[in-house]
């Protein structure tokens, strides 16, 4: 009888390496490792080699950066999905994509089990499990760290040594880092004390206000139907553009945040985030929207953004309501063509100019100069009618 197969979301790190061995030893499973390249800057060949050495029978390495930006990050910009004001959802957006890759490979390999390295107290387990359930209800999901007795890093290292798992001899990283092209999430270690300022070595992508460039820099960011297409007039692919904004924003210390956040599982945690490109893109898109969208659409978009963000954070990416909301936000993008002029300086990203062929800004209505085309007399009648209900109430009160 052939061995049962498990498809594992593999990162190349200690947790998922140990998991490969665990499946082989405990269940005699055949392990197929899947590494999704989301821009983590790790050497794909080395990762492949390590997974095979650890015992995987096969390794898939997939460069999913374009798909991630096009189908996950860009819709999040359109929806203005920012969790609790500061988190641009870099990890949350990646999990449904990784889940989809795992399901596709599991189907192609006729594997009946999918595994991931999440622990039992985070959000990521929910995002993986729920996405996989929504895409392939017949597949069994196993997260060994939720079941297994080995739960400290020291124990894992001991297990790895005992079972000849190649350990990278790198400086012990005291933090838990989740990093991709849309941003970095950093927690654990000293960060677990919310009163302690994050040490300098926490930050991976951005300069501090002290070390950021002294001189401000102007950047013109252009959108075509909602899609960012040019920096300072130069046409770039979305991947190139995001890489360039990460570099520029990083140099000017943009997109950092230090927050205490509400996890779905009921725990508050402290996390440091860095997302220079995501921050700049969200900010510039919002500035364009202010110029182009009518008031009712903009205000209602803001109401739905809150719901959308919660759904993404809470793992409901593959759900009918999330899809319908995507269609709602996408509709407005047809108008979203224009250029936003930004000034980046010492951690600040400021808007200093905007233009759009679809602008609803009307100079002759807005101006206080002679060119003023607004009939001020209309203002008087408008105020009378707008305030009428309040006037009636006040009259009633004074008569009593
Ligand atoms: N709190 C973030 C989320 O729930 C990030 C989770 C992963 N963070 C980490 N440092 N490993 O999406």
The CA–CA distances, whole Å, from 4 to 11, 30, 111, 140 equal 22, 6, 7, 12
What is the spatial distance between Cα 229 and Cα 122, in angstroms, rounded to a whole number? Answer: 35
Each domain of the chain, given as residue ranges in start order, spans 5-63+90-173, 182-355, 369-399
- Ligand 1, atom 10, lies closest to the CA of 186
Task: Judge if the beta carbon of residue 177 lies within 6 A of ligand 1.
Answer: yes
Strand arrangement of the beta sheet that strand 5-9 belongs to: 58-63, 30-37, 5-9, 113-115, 140-142
Of 330, 325, 254, 315, the closest CA to residue 93 belongs to: 315
CA distance from start to end of the chain: 90
Q: What share of the chain has pLDDT > 90, as a percent?
A: 89
What is the spatial distance between Cα 113 and Cα 115, in angstroms, rounded to a whole number? Answer: 7
Task: Judge if the beta carbon of residue 125 lies within 6 A of ligand 1.
Answer: no
Q: What are the tens digits of pLDDT across the range 351-399? A: 999 999 999 999 999 999 999 999 999 999 999 999 999 999 999 999 9
The burial of 317, by beta-carbon neighbours within 10 Å (0-12 exposed, 13-18 middle, 19 or more buried), is given as buried
Strands 256-262 and 58-63: unpaired
CA 257 – ligand 1 centroid, Å? 13
Residues known to be catalytic: 15, 95, 124, 176
Q: What are the tens digits of pLDDT across the range 276-333? A: 999 999 999 999 999 999 999 999 999 999 999 999 999 999 999 999 999 999 999 9
Task: Judge if the beta carbon of residue 38 lies within 6 A of ligand 1.
Answer: no
What is the spatial distance between Cα 271 and Cα 302, in angstroms, rounded to a whole number? Answer: 25
Contact 78, 330 (CB under 8 A): yes
CA 186 – ligand 1 centroid, Å? 7
Q: Which of 9, 125, 198, 271 to mutate to test the pocket of ligand 1 (most atoms within 8 A of CB)?
A: 271
The burial of 254, by beta-carbon neighbours within 10 Å (0-12 exposed, 13-18 middle, 19 or more buried), is given as buried
- CATH hierarchy code of domain 182-355: 3.90.1260.10
Q: Which of 15, 72, 84, 91 to mutate to test the pocket of ligand 1 (most atoms within 8 A of CB)?
A: 91
Q: Do domains 5-63+90-173 and 182-355 have the same CATH topology?
A: no
Task: Judge if the beta carbon of residue 94 lies within 6 A of ligand 1.
Answer: no
Q: Which of 81, 130, 178, 179 to mutate to test the pocket of ligand 1 (most atoms within 8 A of CB)?
A: 178
Q: What mean pLDDT value characterizes the chain?
A: 95
CA 119 – ligand 1 centroid, Å? 11
Task: Judge if the beta carbon of residue 204 lies within 6 A of ligand 1.
Answer: no
Q: What is the pLDDT along the chain (400 residues), one digit of tens a residue?
A: 688 999 999 999 889 999 999 999 999 999 999 999 999 977 889 999 999 999 999 999 999 999 999 999 999 999 999 999 999 999 999 999 999 999 999 999 999 999 999 999 999 999 999 999 999 999 999 999 998 877 677 888 888 888 888 776 555 678 999 999 999 999 999 999 999 999 999 999 999 999 999 999 999 999 999 999 999 999 999 999 999 999 999 999 999 999 999 999 999 999 999 999 999 999 999 999 999 999 999 999 999 999 999 999 999 999 999 999 999 999 999 999 999 999 999 999 999 999 999 999 999 999 999 999 999 999 999 999 999 999 999 999 999 8
Record: fold of 5-63+90-173: Rossmann fold (3.40.50)
Backbone angles phi, psi at 175, to 5 degrees: -115, 165
Q: Closest ligand 1 atom to the C-alpha of 89? A: 12
Q: What global pTM score does this model have?
A: 0.96
């Amino acid at each position: 009888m052939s061995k049962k197969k498990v498809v594992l979301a593999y990162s190349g790190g200690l947790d998922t390496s140990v998991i490969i061995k665990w499946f082989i030893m405990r269940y005699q499973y055949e392990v197929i490792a899947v590494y999704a390249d989301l821009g983590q800057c790790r050497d794909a060949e080395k990762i492949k080699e390590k997974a095979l050495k650890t015992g995987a029978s096969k390794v898939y390495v997939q460069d999913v950066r374009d798909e991630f930006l096009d189908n996950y990050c860009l819709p999040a910009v359109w929806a203005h999905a920012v969790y609790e004001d500061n988190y641009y959802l870099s990890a949350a957006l990646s999990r449904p994509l990784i889940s989809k890759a795992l399901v596709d490979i599991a189907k192609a390999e006729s594997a009946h089990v999918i595994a991931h390295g999440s622990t039992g107290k985070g959000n990521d387990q929910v995002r993986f499990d729920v996405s996989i359930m929504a895409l392939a209800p017949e597949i069994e999901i196993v997260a060994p760290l939720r079941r297994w007795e080995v739960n400290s890093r020291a124990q894992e290292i001991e297990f790895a040594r005992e079972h000849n798992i190649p350990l990278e001899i790198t400086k012990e990283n005291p933090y838990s880092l989740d990093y991709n092209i849309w941003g970095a999430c950093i927690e654990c270690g000293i960060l677990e004390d919310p009163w302690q300022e994050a040490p300098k070595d926490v930050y991976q992508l951005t300069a501090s206000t002290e070390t950021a460039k002294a001189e401000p820099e102007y950047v013109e960011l252009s959108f075509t139907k909602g899609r960012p297409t040019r920096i300072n007039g130069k046409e770039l692919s979305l991947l190139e553009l995001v890489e360039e904004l990460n570099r520029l924003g990083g140099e000017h210390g943009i997109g950092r945040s230090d927050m205490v956040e509400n996890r779905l599982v009921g725990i508050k945690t402290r996390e440091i985030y860095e997302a220079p490109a995501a921050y700049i893109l969200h900010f510039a898109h919002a500035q364009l929207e202010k110029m182009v969208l009518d008031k009712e659409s903009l205000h209602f978009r803001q109401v739905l953004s809150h719901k959308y963000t919660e759904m993404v954070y809470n793992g409901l990416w593959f759900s009918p309501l999330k899809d319908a909301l995507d269609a709602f936000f996408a509709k407005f993008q047809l108008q979203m063509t224009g250029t936003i002029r930004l000034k980046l300086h010492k951690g600040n990203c400021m808007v200093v100019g905007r233009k759009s062929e679809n602008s609803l800004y009307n100079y002759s209505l807005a101006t206080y100069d002679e060119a003023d085309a607004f009939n001020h007399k209309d203002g008087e009648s408008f105020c009378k009618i707008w305030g009428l209900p309040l006037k009636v109430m006040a009259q009633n009160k004074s008569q009593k």
